[in-house]
Structure 1
Amino acid sequence: MITRIFGIAALIALPGWAMATDATLPETLSAQSDEVTLEQFLWLKRPVVVFSDSPADPRFVEQMRYLAADVDGLTIRDVVVLTDTDPTGKSALREKLRPRGFMLALVDKDGQVKLRKPAPWTVREITRSIDKWPTRQQEIREELGKE
């Protein structure tokens, strides 16, 4: 499976996905690269997309280690991590985001790409960025209003 979907929070059941195991992140789901699109997560999750030309790329390995270090921070923000390590696969994610080598892309629930980075980011950096987005600000206001 070339593209993997790492369900950080409990994901809704999407047809065609099979459970798999991965030592890096919990609740791993796998899908064929042509089955994954950003539209599947529209208004449900915030995709964090990690591209590299190989799963052995040190930047990819470091990024996955960063993500696994703070799963709770990602869960709170409805993050789902999507990875693609096969540049020859021409997945829908690659067609849309057009990475060159390693790339980290942060996508909001509205489907807009908010940030692209050529180097790994810690969960703290990712969550600080997400917390500034209008959709996240609205979620925080709604959470505070319920208490």
Structure 2
Amino acid sequence: MVKFFATFVLAVSASTAFAQEASESTDIPVPAIIVEGETADLAEYSWDKRPLVVFADSDNDPRFEQQMAYITDGLDELAERDVIVLTDTTPKPLSSLRKELRPRGFMLVLMGKDGSIYLRKPVPWDIREITRAIDKMPLRQQEIRDRREGR
């Protein structure tokens, strides 16, 4: 698990460093998509991002590892849909995310920009399933229509 997490951190760091170098040349800031959720406040993402919260009782949970592998493989698709991934693998003390969403073991929670919960899953979902669920959201449908119309 330590090797996986170290590899994961290195991959994210390398992609972030590459993205930062690219953004420095164009002066466009590149936000971090994956954030530790233990100290996160959902209110700061309201109407700006779609939180995708991944809970586990340990970062050694195989379902957590699989979910994070799915997420890292699909970072571009998630970024396109304004997703912020919040991870919480520390069951005690209870974080504000855990108090609000009350997970039991592994849980994946997809929320809308308005803060409403669209789905809860006790098993990992691949990027295709996640993006399909997002694309069915009313606000996402409006974003797609606005993009087609050039707004």
Are 2:112 and 1:125 equivalent residues in the alignment? no
Structure in which a larger fraction of residues adopt helix: 2
Question: Aligned-pair distance for 1:31?
Answer: 5.7
Where structure 2 has 5 or more consecutive residues not aligned to the other structure, the ranges are 1-7, 17-31
Deviations 1:89-112 (A, max 9, x none): 210100000000000000000000
Aligned counterpart in structure 2 of residue 136 of structure 1, from 111, 117, 140: 140
Letter in 1 for 2:130: I
Which residue pairs with 1:44 in the alignment? 48
Aligned counterpart in structure 2 of residue 104 of structure 1, from 101, 108, 123: 108
Structure of higher CA gyration radius: 2
Q: How does 1:1-147 map to 2 (within 5 A)?
A: 22-23=9-10, 25=12, 26-27=15-16, 28=32, 33=38, 35-146=39-150
Kept in 2, the 8 Å contact 1:49–1:83? The answer is yes
Residues of 1 paired with 2:37 and 2:50: CA distance?
20
Residues of 1 paired with 2:36 and 2:71: CA distance?
20
Kept in 2, the 8 Å contact 1:45–1:80? The answer is yes
The change in CA–CA distance for 1:104 and 1:32 in structure 2 (over 3 A counts) is closer
Q: Secondary structure at the match of 1:61?
A: helix
Q: What TM-score results when the alignment is normalised by the length of structure 1? A: 0.80
Structure in which a larger fraction of residues adopt strand: 1
Kept in 1, the 8 Å contact 2:47–2:114? The answer is yes
Q: Which runs of 4+ in 1 moved over 6 A?
A: none
Root-mean-square deviation over aligned CA pairs? 1.9
Where structure 1 has 5 or more consecutive residues not aligned to the other structure, the ranges are 1-20
The change in CA–CA distance for 1:105 and 1:31 in structure 2 (over 3 A counts) is closer
Q: Secondary structure at the match of 1:83?
A: strand
Q: What TM-score results when the alignment is normalised by the length of structure 2? A: 0.78
